[in-house]
Structure 1
């Protein structure tokens, strides 16, 4: 009976998870592709298709300029196809280009100069960052932020903080030269710096004190896999006076949102660095199923507010990942354009084809690995609920 109840509960939440996932992914993908589309139109490039999803078309219409807008069956991305593109990855269609009339070449993407092509490609990730900043700025302006000042209430015995000389009532001012305004600011830096020495400046009895601490590595298991985080071993002040509510002017909200977005970029790049050095577990990599579960959990826990926040976080991730210099991604195209600008001519068709094949293989392997992780986490979670 418990097992049947587990199945029933899982089925009941599946619809909510699916809808939440589609909302998150559709918004993030649409904004990304609209960035390409909008700048492409500004540059006078013809657009033949704007698609959300891949595969068979479910719904579609053609606008006055001949662009086919469509929603397809596999909702795992999207694309904008310009005149002269062979496929969704904007690989040039050489046969079509050779046959293309001179009049049509003016609206062909491959016939644009390097600057225009680079601007069109970069517009997708930039649009994602703008979306994230807009979401975070909206939250900052309309809701403000309730924060804890970075004052220490207690130091755990045997912790990295105790070894470094931290004391109760210390007020943390900087970590590795970065200004600390809230306790959460400090936690974000420490959690992603396990095993790495950090330089702290604290205020103690009106005096500035310099301390160096190396956060301990702690491994925790969540529904999304194992997480390796750094732990300093301090507790935040419980004094009600330590709780502050930050309010923002419109410009202040935008500035804070830019800072939040940049912080996410830094943390992601730091995670990749630590992953490459073997300091992070590949178990933390998630794919579409992980995103779907996160979407469902976000809506279930915090409703629309949390779901919109997740859209902001996902938008930063998608924008950043697309800037990686991997052929097939936007960053790969930008790399090719940079080489073209330096050489004065594009790479050969053969070289580009090899690059795109390598890029496809890398992306496919990463997706398969992340999906396998998702399935393992999903199975583990399901069995735990049924036991």
Structure 2
């Protein structure tokens, strides 16, 4: 049972904030735990592990002498190691630490131990991302051949529907169908309210009629998209665009692309009720599997077949391999997007700030547990990548300092660290203000 169905469905402020805090807390806790556990393994003592900032709401000290606490402002967290002057582990003074304990400080530990402790935070985020992707793959399974109907999607009565759960689909309009061809060649079938199917039912081959294999059904709606903002939700069926009936998802795509941003009138069927929306397509930059980006007009609706296919659970190694591939795609797309924004090839509106992330958290949570877990996986990967950027105050900046020490044999001076940390903080605040401005003012 999906408990999120009992929560407010369309993003009340409280629901959005709760979803955002849950998402952020999970990702921050995993990130900081990576620092903590590797520090402990390498002999560096953690004095404080804090989830949140500000006044302490709850705290306990474990047998290792680490104080675990939850603070009132749940928008981050930190690990403070022995000898650190602050939560950023910069500017520590181990003169106040007993000589016998100096090895347990970040300043007194070997370079390899410090570097491993710093790198462990982003690595923990990547590991969380892989595990979440893997959990989704294992829970959802994979469609297998012969393609078998597990459950039918609700459609308006105008569609002829003679297929049943358990039917094995052999061909559609004379075209053989497999898992691989479902979204490819079958999309070229001319749109119509009914199509010829050849199926196997209870061991007997039959000819039946059914809807286009890829009807204009919103299998998912992207948060903060044109369709989402006007009230279109997953499961909605687009019956007409500007008064013209549509029977295939490709017809909907073609109408949106041809609009070039002109408002479109959508007639929507939702559980027997007809609704009408005016949707204004937005220009968006989409990552391509081979790298780069493609700019297209979108409304934020994704399609899918008119049925849920029967699946089987893949092996653990297969699921882990697929999860690593998904992580690699997220990281590659993120780096490519940053590069394209820096060169002006794509809009800086692709940069979202905390407001946009919070809105997405609430929207994904309202769509269900699966959507929220997928969002967590992507966000965790993004947080891990961001922390590896070579910016002072981030983990990547610390790793650059350690690399400098490895090459020169000495760490940067305290004065250099103070200047670089101030510059890094200024850069991060600038990016933060820019992203918030995108969320609130600059980008629709």
Q: Which runs of 5+ in 1 are unaligned?
A: 1-8, 156-215, 381-387
Instruction: Indicate the SS of the match to 2:31.
Output: helix
Report the counterpart of residue 109 of structure 1 in structure 2: 106
- How far apart are residue 75 of structure 1 and its match? 2.0
Aligned residues: 305
Distance 1:62 1:151 in 2: 58
Match of 1:255 among 292, 311, 321: 321
- How far apart are residue 372 of structure 1 and its match? 2.2
Report the counterpart of residue 318 of structure 1 in structure 2: 383
- How far apart are residue 100 of structure 1 and its match? 2.5
Match of 1:123 among 120, 133, 140: 120
Match of 2:432 among 367, 371, 385: 367
Distance 2:50 2:262 in 1: 39
- How far apart are residue 41 of structure 1 and its match? 0.7
Which is greater in Rg? 2
Alignment CA distance shift 1:239-1:31 (3 Å): closer
1:38-53 to 2 correspondences below 5 Å: 38-53=37-52
- How far apart are residue 273 of structure 1 and its match? 0.7
Report the counterpart of residue 239 of structure 2 in structure 1: none
- How far apart are residue 291 of structure 1 and its match? 1.4
Q: Is residue 75 of structure 1 aligned with residue 74 of structure 2?
A: yes
CA root-mean-square deviation: 3.4
Report the counterpart of residue 59 of structure 1 in structure 2: 58
Alignment CA distance shift 1:99-1:248 (3 Å): same
Report the counterpart of residue 358 of structure 1 in structure 2: 423
Contact 1:151-1:237 within 8 A present in 2 as well: no
1:261-276 to 2 correspondences below 5 Å: 261-276=327-342
Instruction: Indicate the SS of the match to 1:106.
Output: helix
Distance 2:370 2:306 in 1: 26
Report the counterpart of residue 333 of structure 1 in structure 2: 398
Distance 1:289 1:274 in 2: 23
Contact 2:58-2:70 within 8 A present in 1 as well: yes
Instruction: Indicate the SS of the match to 2:86.
Output: coil
Instruction: Indicate the SS of the match to 1:280.
Output: coil
Q: Is residue 308 of structure 1 aligned with residue 369 of structure 2?
A: no
Report the counterpart of residue 134 of structure 1 in structure 2: 131
TM-score w.r.t. the length of structure 1 is 0.71
Spell out, residue by residue over 1:22-42, the C-alpha distance to the aligned partner (whole angstroms, 9 max, x if none).
Answer: 111111000000000000111
Distance 1:369 1:220 in 2: 28
- How far apart are residue 129 of structure 1 and its match? 0.6
Instruction: Indicate the SS of the match to 2:51.
Output: strand
Spell out, residue by residue over 1:264-316, the C-alpha distance to the aligned partner (whole angstroms, 9 max, x if none).
Answer: 000000000100110121222222221111111001122x2211111111110
Instruction: Indicate the SS of the match to 2:19.
Output: helix
Distance 1:237 1:307 in 2: 19
Distance 2:365 2:333 in 1: 24
1:368-383 to 2 correspondences below 5 Å: 368-376=433-441
Spell out, residue by residue over 1:63-93, the C-alpha distance to the aligned partner (whole angstroms, 9 max, x if none).
Answer: 2222221222222211101011111111032
Match of 1:227 among 275, 281, 284: 284
1:134-283 to 2 correspondences below 5 Å: 134-145=131-142, 149=181, 151-152=184-185, 227-229=284-286, 230=294, 247-283=313-349
Instruction: Indicate the SS of the match to 1:72.
Output: strand
Instruction: Indicate the SS of the match to 1:45.
Output: coil
Q: Which runs of 5+ in 2 are unaligned?
A: 1-7, 144-178, 189-257, 264-278, 287-293
Distance 2:13 2:262 in 1: 26
Spell out, residue by residue over 1:89-139, the C-alpha distance to the aligned partner (whole angstroms, 9 max, x if none).
Answer: 11032xx32233211202111111111000000000000111111111111
Distance 2:378 2:360 in 1: 11
Alignment CA distance shift 1:240-1:337 (3 Å): same
Distance 1:355 1:152 in 2: 56
